Amino acid sequence: MSLGTITMSMRLSLQIITAFLFITATASSPPSGFTVDLIHRRTNSSSPRRSNTDDDQLRSSPYADIFFETSEYLMKLTIGTPPVEIEAIVDTGSEVTWTQCVPCLNCYKQRNPIFDPSKSSTYKEQLNCNSPNPSCDYTLMYGDQSYSKGRLATETVAIQSTSGHSYVMPETVIGCSHNSSGRFRTTTSSGIVGLSWASLSLISQMGKSMHGAFSYCFSPEGTSRINFGSNAIVSGDGTVSTPMFTKKEKSGFYYLNLDAVSVGEARIETLGTPFHAVDGNIVIDSGTTLTYLPASYCSLVRESVEKVVTSAERVTFPDIDTLCYKTNTMDIFPVITMHFSGGADLVLDKNNTYMANGQAICLMIICGPLSPNAEKLSLFGNRAQNNFLVGYDHSSLKVSFKPTDCGVTQDNMPRDSISAALVLQFNIKFVLFIFFLSLIRL
Ligand SMILES: *[C@@H]1O[C@H](CO)[C@@H](O)[C@H](O)[C@H]1NC(C)=O
Ligand SMILES: *[C@@H]1O[C@H](CO)[C@@H](O)[C@H](O)[C@H]1NC(C)=O
Ligand SMILES: *[C@@H]1O[C@H](CO)[C@@H](O)[C@H](O)[C@H]1NC(C)=O
């Protein structure tokens, strides 16, 4: 082979490589479903919150989240170009996905380095959004008095699936937070992954390819997961479903109807109490640890537990109104069942409803609001959802539950569901590769 032909074939192969890249870029159709491993982070939130002096409001909060262990499930994402990894709390109660950004007016300590938008070539501040504020500043106040303030921007977000593929979302609206504090701090997360059904949530921005469907399986000990699109289907033995509702005043929340709670054999109906509703009375929330019911209805549940637990002494703690007993066994406590409308009866494991706290075991259903500014908000928290595969489906408007040992790694671990276009793309690559090899041999 002469030098001339080598140059020629090099040029040809360059062209082919270019064509190859082009085909990859254009024929690249995102997978129709994928799965991501989650990080479970638990903290005895009383210690970090109490030792911190910059936040008197939270420090003096008489509420339950400074007494019980906090449990959050974090998802890894990358944002920006070049990609920077963040770990953010999976939160069905939030719309905007945000991360802390420099410059920090008031940043809490996080495990990952803080994102620097000036180093990303794809970061664009939102200039013409529909808010009265032309610079699109945002302020998020959460039910537990946590907050985040910053700028809305568009940025490339990528999610690494368990099968190694990356689901890339260019020009995704995210929040770049310059002032934030609260529960994110206790778990040293980088922010929030918003999964509410409002339009800026990550699931809404994934668009049609994921059919507005996701499911998660929170394990108390093992590996927890979140699934999107066709991987998110919840079906098979034991699956129950209940309608989900939205409300104008709290538009992003997933409301469910809690018809009754059973304590052992005693069924306590919401019907006849102010808590009863037909269009949603409780919010299912992946970002809150405990379950909160309105005080009047909740006291009926509590009284029923008290009737059953007769063999242990009640203990009280200063600052917090909880039902606790001096005991080291959960055997003496009744099983609690949550009855959601449409026949979705969730028989909860005792680990989902009671927590050992050193010398006592306490009921993890809290009577009253999460905080003074979350009045009238009843919450079904993540601890009670442990070991259920929980699916949200924006097209059927249903939330489904399937009892599942979430920590067990299944042999048939969900893989990405790859569309036909992707397979075609692979074949084209393969043919080109063979062609390329044959050119080299010339
Ligand atoms: C951060 O936001 C909080 C809550 O709104 C506010 O009180 C505080 O002054 C802000 N801090 C800075 C440095 O802007
Ligand atoms: C409940 O938690 C305890 C302590 O973590 C554990 O030993 C026990 O196996 C758990 N029970 C179930 C049914 O998961
Ligand atoms: C939290 O504190 C309780 C007692 O105060 C202790 O028994 C428990 O082990 C602690 N948990 C963690 C995760 O530190």
The pTM of this model reads: 0.83
Phi, psi of 349 (to 5 degrees): -65, 150
| 134 has pLDDT over 70 | no
Please tell me the predicted confidence (pLDDT) of residue 317. Answer: 82
Phi, psi of 210 (to 5 degrees): -100, 5
Q: 179: CA distance to ligand 1 center in Å?
A: 6
CATH class of the domain at 34-231: mainly beta
Helix, strand, coil share of the chain (percent; to 5):
25, 35, 40
How far is residue 382's CA from residue 2's CA, in Å, rounded to a whole number? 69
* Atom 2, ligand 1: residue with shortest CA distance: 179
Residue owning tokens 């890894």: 76
Ligand closest in space to the Cα of 359: 3
pLDDT in tens, 330-348: 999 999 999 999 999 999 9
Q: Please confirm, yes or no, whether 144 is among the known catalytic residues.
A: no
How far is residue 147's CA from residue 331's CA, in Å, rounded to a whole number? 39
The total of other beta-carbon atoms located within 10 Å of residue 85's CB is: 15
Q: How confident is the model at residue 371 (pLDDT cuts 50, 70, 90)?
A: confident
**Overall fold of domain 234-403:** Cathepsin D, subunit A; domain 1 (2.40.70)
Identify whether the C-beta of residue 240 lies closer than 8 Å to the C-beta of residue 259.
Answer: no
Please tell me the predicted confidence (pLDDT) of residue 159. Answer: 97
* Atom 6, ligand 3: residue with shortest CA distance: 358
- Enclosing H/E stretch for 333: none
Q: Please list the alpha-helical segments (H only) found in 118-246.
A: 183-186, 202-206
Both tokens assigned to 197: 């059904």
| 281 has pLDDT over 70 | yes
Domains of the chain, by residue range, sit at: 3-26+419-441, 34-231, 234-403
Rounded to an integer, the average pLDDT of 197-220 is 94
Share of the chain above pLDDT 70, in %: 78
Please tell me the predicted confidence (pLDDT) of residue 15. Answer: 47
Q: How confident is the model at residue 65 (pLDDT cuts 50, 70, 90)?
A: low
Ligand 1 binding pocket includes 106 (Cβ within 6 Å): yes
How far is residue 330's CA from residue 14's CA, in Å, rounded to a whole number? 69
Q: Please confirm, yes or no, whether 65 is among the known catalytic residues.
A: no
Q: 325: CA distance to ligand 2 center in Å?
A: 18
Q: Find residue 267's DSSP bridge partners.
A: 262
pLDDT in tens, 92-120: 999 999 999 999 999 999 999 999 999 99
Q: 68: CA distance to ligand 3 center in Å?
A: 9
| 158 has pLDDT over 90 | yes
Phi, psi of 64 (to 5 degrees): -65, -25
